[in-house]
Structure 1
Amino acid sequence: MERELKLRVAKEDLDALRRAPLLATANSAAKAPQLLTSTYFDTPGLAFRENEASLRVRTVGNDRVQTLKLEGAVHAGLFDRDEFEVPIESDVPDLTRLYDQIPEDTGCGKLIRDETIAAQLEPVFVTRINRSVFPLRTPSGDELEIALDEGTVDAKTGSVSIAAVELELKQGEPESLYNVALELLEAVPLRIDHLSKADLGYALLETGQSKAVKAQPVQLDKRASVEDAFSTIARKCLDQVHANERGVVSGHDPSSVHQMRVGLRRLRSAFDLFARLIPASSRLDEELRWIASELGAARDWEVLAGSTLDHADINGNAPEILPVRQACEKHAVDNRQRAAAAVESVRYTRLALQLALWLNRKGWRDGMSDEQREAIGAPVKQFAADVLRRRHRKLIKRGKGLADLDDHLRHRARIAAKKVRYATEFFASLFPRRAVSHYVDALSALQDDLGWRNDAVVADQLLTGLSRTSPESVSGGAFVRGFLASRVASDHRTLTKLWKRFRRLSPPR
């Protein structure tokens, strides 16, 4: 089992990193730099990639090592995966050397025993890496290797440069990787890297840009404790956040901005619903608010420039709307770039590392009494039922007379509905599927209506400000604001019906 934390570093910062106090102490035991040339093999149809595996032959001097890696799990840059290595004499793979290590009844086991697959293997890309390795022993006794890599990934379709830090755990606890990364972050700017070298190589072969990733269902064991449930839910939320970072940083994908923001909202909602038993530090919450706000402005302008103006411009050719659309699209691009810069910042890297460290070492246990530890060890199902009941009650209270509430009070009801929805999805696997489905369907319809109404309120605010900075948009902005006001007014009856339908329901139990 391989456990690695991968970090990106600017090429010009590698020398400064070598002089970092942490590496200076390990310099005397550092291994001589080596050139590692790794040729990755696959079939023309990328069968190994399809099976979430990578196959390489690495050359170090006169030695050859064949390695098969399975995808495994990646959380906040920590790769936790199976790795199978065998020395070989040739520059091409010998799959028979893996038979003893990989069971025949597994997907990968069947793949490597398929003679047709073996016959089709060909080089698909090559990595050429100059690597310096520093062994490190932490005060707590954990043993790590810090590798500084500089080189390229080369394929027929292109090439990409690499400057990276890999922290590999040899012995000890995974949280030591995050502690070391945070210490190195004080020396030079670093970024968490969620892509392996194999991922980078395959990205050169595969056309298209990274796609936005939606939240995946949470599966809880009905016998799980409150603490175990919290860990599972928080990690699922973080998986969605991290999966969309590349799309946000690319600056081209508004949907990645939206889905990363959704992941952050879900994470903060999880913190909130467990807060009585598992408190998070105010510092973590403050930093989560910060990154969410950096993404929020981009999302608001994207919605206005897209769906909101599309609804207002029914025929798609209203001349007065064109200047509004152009101004909004410029704001959307500017804010998307700001969101990308925030996700690439040292501040965000530090937050991601601190969150991962807190989750890995269960930092909420610090200073807990025996009574509190007993409470978080209780079965989660009763806790979940109590949470859903309380949140449902709060929504019913805040939604009284929903269709006639002013913008502020309706916004509070919308937030309450969102919290009920997230809590229900988090705990869905603990309750009868039919009851959950019926409840979520009604809640989703209500949320959709409240959501576009909120978009209309935000659009009105943005358009008001736009008219002051872009005089050419005044006429079109006034038209759009009038259109939105009329649409909200005509929705009164629909919202009333949706609220009545939901109000009749009880939360799953």
Structure 2
Amino acid sequence: MERELKLRVAKEDLGTLRQVPMLGQSGTKAGTPHLLTSTYFDTPEFSFHWCKASLRVRAVGNEKIQTLKLDGSAQAGLFDRDEFEMPVNGDAPDLKLLCDQIPEQSDCGKLIRDETVAARLKPVFVTRINRSAFALQQPSGDELELALDEGTIEAESGSVQLAAVELELKQGNPDALYRTALDMLESVPLRIDHRSKADLGYALLVAEHTEAVKAHPVVLDKRDSVEDAFCAIARNCLDQVHANEQGVVSGHDPSSVHQMRVGLRRLRSALDLFAKVIPSSSGFNEELRWIASELGAARDWEVLAGSTLEHAGSNGNANEVQPVRQACEQIAVNNRQRAAAAVESVRYTRLALEFTRWLNRKGWRDEMSDEQRKAIGSPVKPFAADILRRRHKKLIKRGKGLADLDDQRRHRARIAAKKVRYATEFFASLCPKRAVRNYVNALTALQDDLGWRNDAVVADHLLKSLLTTSPEAAPGAAFARGFLASRVAADHQTLKKLWKRFKLLSSPH
């Protein structure tokens, strides 16, 4: 199992990194650059790539090393995956050497045992990397290897320059990787690296769309403690956040912005749910709010330019609305670029590293008394039932007379509904399935109605701003505002019915 934390660095900052004190303690031969030339192999249709694996042969002096890496998890730049490495005779891979190590029935196992695959392997790209490696012995006893890489990835279709830092755990606790990365971040700007060298190589060959990733269901056990449940829920939220980072950075897919924002909202909701028993740093809440707001600005304009104006222009008014749509789409693109810059920033890198480290090492225990530690060791089911009851009660209180509330009070009710939804989904596996299904169905219908109403309120503010920034869109903006207002008014009875239906239910627990 390979555990590596990958970070990107500007080429001009590599020299500064070589001077940091921790690297000076690695010995006289440490840090001497040596060339690593790795040739990646695949079939003409990229069978290994589609199997989420990479196969290479690396020249190390006079020796040739074959390496197969399988798909694993990647969180905040930490790649955790299976790696199989062995000497090989010659410049080409020998798939037979892998048969004893890869299960026969796995996708990759079937691939390496297919003789036609072996016969059709060919070089697809080459990496030429000057690597300076440093062995780091931590006071804690953890052993790391820090590599500073500079070079190129070359394919027939083009090449890409590379400057990166790789921290590999040789022995010990993965916390040492995050601790070391944060120490280096004080000396030079680093960025989380979302892609491996193989990913970058295949990007030169295959035009792939980065799909937005929705949250996976949280699965808890009735025997789990409160702390166990918190860790599982927080990691589930983080998985959604990290899975959408690359999509946001690419700047092409609004859905990735939306799903990363949802993941951040879920994470903030989880911190709020457990705040009385597992307090987090106020700094985390502030930084999570910051990155969510950077994504939110892009999302608001995307919604307006998309579904909101689509409804406004669906009644034979498309020509009038078109200038508005064009202005909104341009603002959305600009804000998407701003969101990408935020996710690529040192500030976000620090947040991701610090929060992941806090979660992995259970940093909340540092300031806890024995009594508090005992409390978070208690079973989660009673805790979950109490949370669900209290959140439901709060929503019922805030939603009184929901259809007739003003925008501000209805917004508060909408936020309460969202928190109930997240809490229910977090603890769903602890509750009767039928009760959860009926409750979530009614809550979802209510949320959807409150959601588009909120979109209409946000849209009204955004459309007002166009009057000064895009005068050519003023007539269409005025029409769209009137259309949305009439649509909200027409929804009065529907919202009343949805609220009445939901009030008849009790929270599942």
The reply to whether TM is greater than 0.5 is yes
The 3-state SS of whatever aligns with 2:439 is helix
1:409-431 CA distance string (max 9 Å, x none): 10011001111111111122222
Q: Which residue of 2 aligns with 1:313?
A: 313
Inter-partner Cα distance in structure 2 for 1:5 and 1:337: 26
CA contact (8 A) 2:192 2:344 kept: no
Asked if 1:299 corresponds to 2:299, the answer is yes
CA contact (8 A) 2:73 2:81 kept: yes
Q: Which residue of 2 aligns with 1:344?
A: 344
Q: Which residue of 2 aligns with 1:263?
A: 263
The 3-state SS of whatever aligns with 1:277 is coil
Aligned-pair identity in percent equals 75
Task: Please state how far the C-alpha of 1:261 moved relative to its aligned partner.
Answer: 0.7
Inter-partner Cα distance in structure 2 for 1:196 and 1:345: 19
Q: Which residue of 2 aligns with 1:68?
A: 68
Task: Please state how far the C-alpha of 1:107 moved relative to its aligned partner.
Answer: 4.1
Task: Please state how far the C-alpha of 1:192 moved relative to its aligned partner.
Answer: 0.8
The 3-state SS of whatever aligns with 1:79 is strand
CA contact (8 A) 1:250 1:340 kept: yes
Moved more, 375-384 or 104-113: 104-113
Task: Please state how far the C-alpha of 1:108 moved relative to its aligned partner.
Answer: 3.3
Q: How does 1:7-22 map to 2 (within 5 A)?
A: 7-22=7-22
Instruction: Please report the TM-score for the alignment, with normalisation by the length of structure 2.
Output: 0.96
Task: Please state how far the C-alpha of 1:50 moved relative to its aligned partner.
Answer: 3.3
Q: Which residue of 2 aligns with 1:219?
A: 219
How many equivalent pairs are there? 509
Task: Please state how far the C-alpha of 1:292 moved relative to its aligned partner.
Answer: 0.7
Unaligned 5+ segments in structure 2 are none
Aligned AA (2:4): E
Inter-partner Cα distance in structure 2 for 1:91 and 1:227: 51
Aligned AA (1:122): K
Aligned AA (1:439): Y
Q: Which residue of 1 aligns with 2:452?
A: 452
Aligned AA (2:88): I
1:348-382 CA distance string (max 9 Å, x none): 11101101110111101112111111111122222
Q: How does 1:203-214 map to 2 (within 5 A)?
A: 203-214=203-214
Q: What is the root-mean-square deviation of aligned Cα atoms in Å?
A: 1.7
Q: Which residue of 2 aligns with 1:233?
A: 233
Aligned AA (1:173): N
Q: Which residue of 2 aligns with 1:322?
A: 322
Inter-partner Cα distance in structure 2 for 1:507 and 1:203: 48
Moved more, 47-56 or 372-381: 47-56
CA contact (8 A) 2:245 2:256 kept: yes
The 3-state SS of whatever aligns with 1:32 is coil
The 3-state SS of whatever aligns with 1:69 is strand
Aligned AA (2:493): R
Task: Please state how far the C-alpha of 1:315 moved relative to its aligned partner.
Answer: 4.6
Q: How does 1:367-378 map to 2 (within 5 A)?
A: 367-378=367-378
Q: Rate the CA distance shift 1:208–1:80 in 2: closer, same or farther, 3 A.
A: closer
The 3-state SS of whatever aligns with 1:214 is coil
Q: Which residue of 2 aligns with 1:253?
A: 253
Inter-partner Cα distance in structure 1 for 2:161 and 2:79: 21
Inter-partner Cα distance in structure 2 for 1:189 and 1:211: 28
Instruction: Please report the TM-score for the alignment, with normalisation by the length of structure 1.
Output: 0.96
The 3-state SS of whatever aligns with 1:28 is coil
Task: Please state how far the C-alpha of 1:217 moved relative to its aligned partner.
Answer: 1.6
Inter-partner Cα distance in structure 2 for 1:17 and 1:58: 26
Q: Rate the CA distance shift 1:294–1:96 in 2: closer, same or farther, 3 A.
A: same
Q: Which residue of 1 aligns with 2:91?
A: 91
Q: Rate the CA distance shift 1:106–1:337 in 2: closer, same or farther, 3 A.
A: closer
Task: Please state how far the C-alpha of 1:136 moved relative to its aligned partner.
Answer: 1.1
Inter-partner Cα distance in structure 1 for 2:238 and 2:504: 34
Inter-partner Cα distance in structure 1 for 2:89 and 2:29: 30
Inter-partner Cα distance in structure 2 for 1:214 and 1:37: 38
Task: Please state how far the C-alpha of 1:37 moved relative to its aligned partner.
Answer: 1.3
Q: Rate the CA distance shift 1:89–1:311 in 2: closer, same or farther, 3 A.
A: same
Q: Which residue of 1 aligns with 2:473?
A: 473
The 3-state SS of whatever aligns with 2:367 is coil
